[in-house]
Chains A and B, each alone.
Chain A
Amino acid sequence: MSAQKDRWVSSFSFLLFCASFIPMLESASLLQELSPQEYFSSLQAGRASLAYFSHNVSPGAQPFLEQIENSVEALQDYGISVVKINCPKEDVSRYCGKENALRKAYLFRGNMLIREFPTDALFDVNSIVANVLFALLFNEVKYVETLVDLQNIENALKGRSNMVFAYVPATGTAEHRAVMEVAFVYGTVHQFVLTTEATLLKDAGSNEPDISSARLFFCHCQQATDLAQPCRRTPLEQDLTVLNIHRHLKLMGAPLVTEVAENPEKVSTVHLQLGLPLVFILSQKETYEADRRTAEFLAWQLLGKAGVALLSRDLVDLNILLRSNVALKTPDEGVPIKYLVLEDTDEVITLVEDKSKIEQIQEGEDEEDEDEKENDNQDVQDDQVVEAVCRDKKRELPVEQILTLTEETFHSAVLETAQTVVLFYASWEAVSLAVLQSYTEVADHLKGAQGVLLSRVNCWDWPGVCTTENVTQFPTIKIYKKGKQPVTYNGMLGTEELTSFIMLSQVSCPLKLATINEAEGYLRGELPSELSSYHHTSVLGVFSTSMSKAREAFVEAGSILSGHITMGMYFEDDALALSRKYAVSPPALLLSRSGGRSVEGIALSKQNAQDIVQMITYELLDIFPEITVQNLPYYLQLRKPFLILFSDGDIGQMEGKEMLKLAKGILQQPFVSCWMNLKNTPVGHGVLKAYFATVPSLPVLVWVNLHARGQVFKFPSDQSITEVNILSWLEKLKAGLEIPSSTLSEEDWKPPLPAYNFLQMMDTTVPEFILRTSYHHGDRQEQQQPEDSEEKATVREQLPEEAGLKAEKGQSPGRDLRGTAPRLAGREKQAKRHTEL
């Protein structure tokens, strides 16, 4: 928001600059000191100057002098020069002669005296600027003392132009100066009226005017036709500063209601540019007239606080609820438009005003932010991983458990141990170092484990071995087993996951089970004790002896899933009996969760290893899982909407039961139903905050459509979480009858901050670069060429070379090397065109 303000400030100062540019050319030095003769002979028509006369510096004038010197610059912006005139001792002319003339300052336009100022009216810079401009803008700023005067002016303006009416408690104040400075720019557009009479305020709408503070009103007289009625007034709610007044006038100048026929995301108006929200009234053909009236009514209410636009739904294909009638767009970038269903215009007004209230509260904080932004954070690390690793670099990692391998020791180490885990990393790379930390924790867990060697290779020291081991990115974890192809770890880079992977990799996958007892035991989860804590679900493939092809595929699938899960395989003669027990026939999968209490039989219809992998991975997903940071990706891959029950701690029995019923009830669920324990997954608070701005009371059931449109719906808190209620709510969602609580941002991931623009720095400093710049614009020149060549076509036909040369000479003088390249290029092209002719 404030960035916009800045932009706006600069545009305003540019305006001022333009206004004062021409006279400024002549006044090079600031405070001029001249003799009377010099001064009066140098006066130019139409040029304003403020002069004061002195013999020597009289002591009383000292503070005044200081102030007037300080205001030289400010006045110069308005083309007014300040001149100190040194009177010769013997001079007794009009200005120098009299003692009291020396206590005054004189404002001249050309050689005409406009006003004398007693020095006590010019007590500081504000008063000097205010009074001088006041005198110069005599016509543009009318001073009124009575209500009648005001009304007369107002009536005269009706139907013609608007009026800016300002009250200042006294002239010569900062507020007075601000009004005058704005009048200097806008004086020709609006009629300015100034008063110091507080009584005039009573009429101006405020019942109990605070006469100690200045006020400013914009009076909409241009549209007013009824002479009996005063013009509509919009007060400026902020302090009277140049910026605020300018902003106010700009807002008043904007059209009352903007008609929009494009995607509201793309709409930008003065309001948004000035950091105010924009309210869209969503209209339809049938209700257009009424909507237009509503919009205008609302616009008057919100004048100066927000913009109002009328959006025709028939013209724009909007992906929103049919019921929505209002949309709110905030000036903050990246905040999506909110679509709402409101019943009353008051609701809109409260919405906007609340918003601005919140903003005002936050403004204090924001400013800190902005200050920081201006300092440029480009060189401040904003990568959480890099920064975290940097902050930890002083600490020595406990890496004693991990063998450091080199190019020389690598091969022997890999050969010596049954299972060697190698972390390939680069010692300068942050993610590598982060993983190394987890790796030391893994080493800690596996201390004393037989037959496992944890080792590492720093690819920054030993690039050769990393290349031969086909390590192209950091970090890479590989597991080498005697006599087998190394396996690259492709799971989560975390301590638990890696530990489990290493442990489970030790058993062959799939395990060949020899007897039916072994098979049953496997289904009950009987594994070597050291593995039991890493084992969750048993996957047993049952084949009859003849099914070698299916078995091979299953074995291949096993090698892919090795480390992630355990798999068993049974293909003895009595396999049929085993599978019958679970109501399937071979080839089949027997899935046993939670120690064999429930075994599920699934026919293995796929004969391809990849398909089997996919099937097993899918079957391993829970029906109603607790979502954690670690397992979310598995469910995300289903690319379905999520129905999440957020809970602080375990979910209640009732809710759990109902949710499970729901999950089981719908076959081939079109959505993922799950829950999240905020105690285990505190970042869930962040998720809720993103959905609802604050964390609602828990538990809360939320529908999130992650993969399409990103709408978030909240299950009504007044209903109890039962299967029936949820189902009917889901029906309503489907029918589009519910309003989303929010919509997930669709924003792309753009660079967080700009880069150093070295090209630009070089352009401004090194001239040879400019040559390259102009060359670079060659494309544009090529486009311009045709027009150019048509004009001169006749000439060129006769004397192509000469014409080309002439064109070249015709270019701006003061040329140096800069333009050479494009011009030569241009000439080449002309010649070519001629030969084509």
Chain B
Amino acid sequence: LRLALCAGALCAAGGAAFLYHDYCVLGAGPSGLQAAYFLQRAGRDYLVFERSHAPGSFFAIYPRHRKLISINKRYTGKSNGEFNLRHDWNSLLSHDPRLLFRRYSRQFFPHADAMVRYLEDFAALLELRVRYNTAIVHVTLDRDPQAWNGHYFVLTDQNRQNYKCSSLLVATGTWVPNVVNFPGSEYVEGYETVSINPEDFAGQTVLILGRGNSAFETAENILGVTNFVHMVSRSRVRLSWATHYVGDLRAINNGLLDTYQLKSLDGLLEGDLEDLAIVKDKKGKLHITLRFYLENRNTSAGIDSITLPQDELDNFATRAPYDRVIRCLGWKFDFSIYNRSLRMMPGRGNKNKYPQIKPSYESRGTRGLFVLGTASHSVDFRKSAGGFIHGFRYTTRAVHRLLENRHHGVPWPSTVYPITQLTNSIIKRVNEASGLYQMFGVLADIILLRENATAFEYLEEYPVGVLAELEAQTGRSAPDGLFVVIMEYGRNFSGADKDVFYYNRAVGEAQHAWQSNFLHPVIYYYKRLPAEREMRLRPPDWPLPRPHAIHHIVEDFLTDWTAPNAHILPLRRFLENCLSTDLRNFFAESCFLFALTRQKQPPFCQQGYARMQGLVGSERLRRHAVEAGLLEDYAVMDFSGDKLPHSHRGSRDQLLEDHVIPVRPLQHLVNAKDE
């Protein structure tokens, strides 16, 4: 009742005036707008809060050098829109073909302004409800047993206006710059403000702190005009082509690696920034020393009294003084606006820049608070693409589907097919689905088997981390077992330090498919839904607990998994053996024979021929099937008694001949792709 009264209206309770919405979305960046799109399509009561005057304010500033490193592949040779999204890392999901990013930029690595324009259009064309110039400065809870989650979220903006929401979607990204404090850090310029004009660096010696894409991007920009650039960071450089993680150093930014390794004066160093200290000499040059030396010195003495490392170790690497030191250490989530009762905790270890959330993207501390977009990357940090537009556009959709089920009784969308379509539906998805492809290891298609395995229900892109809760989260039931279709890289293939170009890195034969290294589809079969405990106890790095059976579709150079013998046949055999049935297709003639000579029919005949939808096939195909020995040709048989076995043998010989000579002239190409 209370909901109805307040819905969308100005409510007055306890003296404070506030606006009510079912859903509040914080931030009108890519993920906030993506969430708004789905809420709008579902006809939900929502409002997006944006502190800036326009969407995507982060992209108005960053990246500083304005080149996005997300690819904008305009041509793939395919017209399949879903497939093409696999190579479009900038578009958000929508039904509107005008809102494809390739219409906004012709560049492979587009200018950041194009993203700003795109987001503006996305919000405007789709008429998303965004409240600009509204900075939410405080979020707290209002306990109420009638609320969806036992409490309302009360938001306060910079004008002390209050808003009340049943569900809070946090899409604020990570925008608070990481800083380190060490003696002399006041001399350090931040990435946020540093000049991007290379001329300002002419003839200077520069030290960059950090080793991410922003650090390398900064270096790349000034490489040509500086004396030299040094980069220092605790961790070693991780190249994204070696780790298959798009957040690591992208090849487009790695010019400094080249000049370092070719001894063109630039260089990389490893060291803990916490130990560092910077002192400025009288000429304004910046010297690197160690905090250790500073702590021991006489505070009253001048700069000359400071021990520099080279005083003791005269070939100390960074003994040359620098003109500038630039900090490029990335960003973290803004934890400051949440009341303590929301228990928004930073993650552990290297995930401390993100808030702690469950695999369902719901906050660990507060029910009904979901984290979307870049800030939700703790789920798949350093693994998949959940921190980037081309990944979180799918996880945002998944969260929306979870919410639709939880609050509106709309079960997860699904399609029911007859079992004969099982192989086809998997092949179709692994070949075109972009969510599975981008969010490998995180989102998976779920196939729920119906009784007697005569039909199945297909659910797309479910967050696999909450597989155990599938029935509650989707409103679908899985009483008779399920398949999970997911994409994976080979387990020990990628990673820093690994040679990802070694010979025979690619597997070509279906029977060795489980050793595939590149991204390939994997199908898990469970006779029953795994329990929470099984999910918890699964081995590290495994997306799922041990299945009853597993199938890998062998990796493919073209990521085209439609080869009848190498891809589809082994998959069919796997499915057949899991379901203990025969999933072959038959011509009507075969079904006719089975119908009159056997008490039971194969599924294809049962669901086709017996319902007067048999596959008659052309005469030509019939002849091919006969030649292959898979169909008996009764028309030419001689039925004069004793010749019978002979003609029977004839067809068998044919069968043998055909199978003895497998045509595999391109075997070597399959095995070593780089030749």
Taking Cβ atoms with an 8 Å cutoff, the residues of A that contact B are: 365, 368-369, 372, 377-392, 406-407, 426, 428-431, 434-435, 437-438, 441, 460-464, 472-474, 490-497, 629-630, 632-634, 636-637, 642, 681-687, 690-691, 694-695, 704, 706, 710, 744-759, 761-762, 766, 768-769, 771-773, 775-776, 821, 825
**Interface positions of B from 619 to 645, Cβ below 8 Å from A:** 620-622, 624-625, 627-628, 630-635, 637, 639, 641, 644
In whole angstroms, how far apart are the Cα atoms of A382 and B600 in the complex?
Answer: 19
Q: Which of B570, B585, B596 contacts A687 (CB under 8 A)?
A: B596
Q: List 6 A-B contacts (CB under 8 A).
A: A381-B564, A382-B584, A387-B628, A685-B639, A690-B597, A748-B580
| Proximity string of chain B (485-497) to chain A, C-beta cutoff 8 Å, 1 when within and 0 when not | 0000001000000
B255 in the interface, Cβ–Cβ < 8 Å?
no
Residues on the A chain within 8 Å of B418, using CB: 473
**Interface positions of B from 270 to 303, Cβ below 8 Å from A:** none
B315 in the interface, Cβ–Cβ < 8 Å?
no
By beta carbon, the residue of chain B nearest A766 is B491
Q: A472-B415, A755-B574, A758-B551 are in contact. Are A383 and B584 (CB under 8 A)?
A: yes
Not counting A682-B635, A690-B596, A762-B514, a sample of 13 additional A-B residue pairs whose C-beta atoms are within 8 angstroms of each other reads A380-B659, A383-B584, A388-B630, A392-B621, A429-B427, A438-B618, A492-B613, A494-B616, A704-B596, A751-B580, A758-B551, A771-B539, A772-B542
In whole angstroms, how far apart are the Cα atoms of A363 and B614 in the complex?
Answer: 37
In the complex, the answer to whether A749 meets B600 with C-beta atoms within 8 Å is yes
Residues on the A chain within 8 Å of B617, using CB: 385, 388, 434, 437-438, 494
By beta carbon, the residue of chain B nearest A745 is B598
B593 in the interface, Cβ–Cβ < 8 Å?
yes
Q: A368-B656, A426-B424 are in contact. Are A759 and B574 (CB under 8 A)?
A: no
By beta carbon, the residue of chain A nearest B551 is A758
In whole angstroms, how far apart are the Cα atoms of A490 and B609 in the complex?
Answer: 11
In whole angstroms, how far apart are the Cα atoms of A435 and B613 in the complex?
Answer: 12
Nearest 8 Cβ contacts at the A-B interface: A494-B616, A428-B562, A751-B576, A772-B546, A384-B630, A385-B585, A749-B582, A690-B597
In the complex, the answer to whether B639 meets A695 with C-beta atoms within 8 Å is yes
| Proximity string of chain B (368-406) to chain A, C-beta cutoff 8 Å, 1 when within and 0 when not | 000000000000000000000000000000000000000
Residues on the B chain within 8 Å of A771, using CB: 539
In whole angstroms, how far apart are the Cα atoms of A386 and B576 in the complex?
Answer: 16
Taking Cβ atoms with an 8 Å cutoff, the residues of B that contact A are: 78-82, 415, 417-418, 421, 424-425, 427-428, 431-432, 491, 510-511, 513-514, 533-534, 537-539, 542, 545-547, 549-552, 562, 564-565, 568-570, 572-574, 576-577, 580-582, 584-590, 592-593, 595-603, 608-618, 620-622, 624-625, 627-628, 630-635, 637, 639, 641, 644, 649, 652, 656, 659
Residues on the A chain within 8 Å of B652, using CB: 365, 368-369
Q: Which of A377, A473, A494, A710 contacts B421 (CB under 8 A)?
A: A473
Residues on the B chain within 8 Å of A747, using CB: 598, 600
Q: Which of B511, B546, B577, B620 contacts A379 (CB under 8 A)?
A: B511
In the complex, the answer to whether A630 meets B588 with C-beta atoms within 8 Å is yes
Q: A434-B615, A749-B581, A755-B551 are in contact. Are A463 and B586 (CB under 8 A)?
A: no
Residues on the A chain within 8 Å of B589, using CB: 629, 683
In the complex, the answer to whether A756 meets B511 with C-beta atoms within 8 Å is yes
CB distance from A267 to the nearest CB of B (A): 21
Q: Which of A380, A493, A744 contacts B599 (CB under 8 A)?
A: A744
In the complex, the answer to whether A372 meets B573 with C-beta atoms within 8 Å is no
Q: Which of B510, B586, B649 contacts A365 (CB under 8 A)?
A: B649
In whole angstroms, how far apart are the Cα atoms of A177 and B637 in the complex?
Answer: 49
In the complex, the answer to whether B576 meets A636 with C-beta atoms within 8 Å is no
In the complex, the answer to whether B612 meets A633 with C-beta atoms within 8 Å is yes
By beta carbon, the residue of chain B nearest A428 is B562
In the complex, the answer to whether A683 meets B634 with C-beta atoms within 8 Å is yes
Residues on the B chain within 8 Å of A683, using CB: 589, 592-593, 634
Q: A372-B659, A384-B631, A749-B603 are in contact. Are A495 and B616 (CB under 8 A)?
A: yes
Q: A384-B628, A629-B589, A633-B612 are in contact. Are A460 and B573 (CB under 8 A)?
A: no
Residues on the B chain within 8 Å of A431, using CB: 585, 615
Residues on the A chain within 8 Å of B624, using CB: 387-389, 391-392
Residues on the A chain within 8 Å of B593, using CB: 683, 686-687, 690
Q: Which of B595, B616, B620, B637 contacts A706 (CB under 8 A)?
A: B595
In the complex, the answer to whether B80 meets A750 with C-beta atoms within 8 Å is no
In the complex, the answer to whether A751 meets B581 with C-beta atoms within 8 Å is yes
In whole angstroms, how far apart are the Cα atoms of A431 and B421 in the complex?
Answer: 11
In whole angstroms, how far apart are the Cα atoms of A382 and B614 in the complex?
Answer: 19
CB distance from A756 to the nearest CB of B (A): 5
In the complex, the answer to whether B612 meets A491 with C-beta atoms within 8 Å is yes
By beta carbon, the residue of chain B nearest A763 is B546
Q: A431-B615, A750-B580, A754-B573 are in contact. Are A384 and B587 (CB under 8 A)?
A: yes
In the complex, the answer to whether B615 meets A629 with C-beta atoms within 8 Å is no
Residues on the A chain within 8 Å of B611, using CB: 490, 633
Residues on the A chain within 8 Å of B542, using CB: 772
Residues on the B chain within 8 Å of A472, using CB: 415, 417, 421
By beta carbon, the residue of chain B nearest A395 is B620
In the complex, the answer to whether B584 meets A490 with C-beta atoms within 8 Å is no
CB distance from A416 to the nearest CB of B (A): 22
In the complex, the answer to whether A686 meets B630 with C-beta atoms within 8 Å is no
In the complex, the answer to whether B539 meets A768 with C-beta atoms within 8 Å is yes
Q: Which of B513, B597, B603 contacts A756 (CB under 8 A)?
A: B513
In the complex, the answer to whether B613 meets A379 with C-beta atoms within 8 Å is no
CB distance from B554 to the nearest CB of A (A): 10
In whole angstroms, how far apart are the Cα atoms of A644 and B226 in the complex?
Answer: 95
Q: A755-B576, A768-B539 are in contact. Are A694 and B644 (CB under 8 A)?
A: yes
In the complex, the answer to whether A754 meets B599 with C-beta atoms within 8 Å is no
CB distance from B569 to the nearest CB of A (A): 6
By beta carbon, the residue of chain B nearest A817 is B539
CB distance from A468 to the nearest CB of B (A): 10
In the complex, the answer to whether A384 meets B595 with C-beta atoms within 8 Å is no
In the complex, the answer to whether A461 meets B592 with C-beta atoms within 8 Å is no
In the complex, the answer to whether A752 meets B584 with C-beta atoms within 8 Å is yes
In whole angstroms, how far apart are the Cα atoms of A464 and B97 in the complex?
Answer: 11
Residues on the B chain within 8 Å of A776, using CB: 546
By beta carbon, the residue of chain A nearest B659 is A380
In whole angstroms, how far apart are the Cα atoms of A388 and B620 in the complex?
Answer: 9
Residues on the B chain within 8 Å of A642, using CB: 596
Q: A435-B615, A463-B81 are in contact. Are A691 and B597 (CB under 8 A)?
A: yes
In the complex, the answer to whether A491 meets B613 with C-beta atoms within 8 Å is yes
By beta carbon, the residue of chain A nearest B568 is A386
Residues on the A chain within 8 Å of B615, using CB: 385, 431, 434-435, 493-494
Q: A437-B621, A752-B576, A758-B552 are in contact. Are A386 and B585 (CB under 8 A)?
A: yes
In the complex, the answer to whether A629 meets B588 with C-beta atoms within 8 Å is yes
In the complex, the answer to whether B510 meets A756 with C-beta atoms within 8 Å is yes
In whole angstroms, how far apart are the Cα atoms of A454 and B24 in the complex?
Answer: 51
Q: Which of A381, A387, A460, A759 contacts B550 (CB under 8 A)?
A: A759
CB distance from A234 to the nearest CB of B (A): 32
Residues on the B chain within 8 Å of A463, using CB: 80-82, 432
Residues on the B chain within 8 Å of A388, using CB: 587, 617, 621-622, 624-625, 628, 630-631
In the complex, the answer to whether B596 meets A706 with C-beta atoms within 8 Å is yes
CB distance from A733 to the nearest CB of B (A): 18
Residues on the A chain within 8 Å of B572, using CB: 383
Residues on the B chain within 8 Å of A686, using CB: 593, 597, 632, 634
CB distance from B225 to the nearest CB of A (A): 49
Residues on the B chain within 8 Å of A438, using CB: 616-618
CB distance from A14 to the nearest CB of B (A): 28
CB distance from A674 to the nearest CB of B (A): 11
Q: A392-B620, A493-B614, A497-B616 are in contact. Are A633 and B637 (CB under 8 A)?
A: no
In the complex, the answer to whether B574 meets A428 with C-beta atoms within 8 Å is no
In the complex, the answer to whether B584 meets A384 with C-beta atoms within 8 Å is yes
Residues on the B chain within 8 Å of A754, using CB: 573, 577
In whole angstroms, how far apart are the Cα atoms of A407 and B81 in the complex?
Answer: 10
In the complex, the answer to whether A633 meets B596 with C-beta atoms within 8 Å is no
In the complex, the answer to whether A379 meets B510 with C-beta atoms within 8 Å is yes
Residues on the B chain within 8 Å of A761, using CB: 514
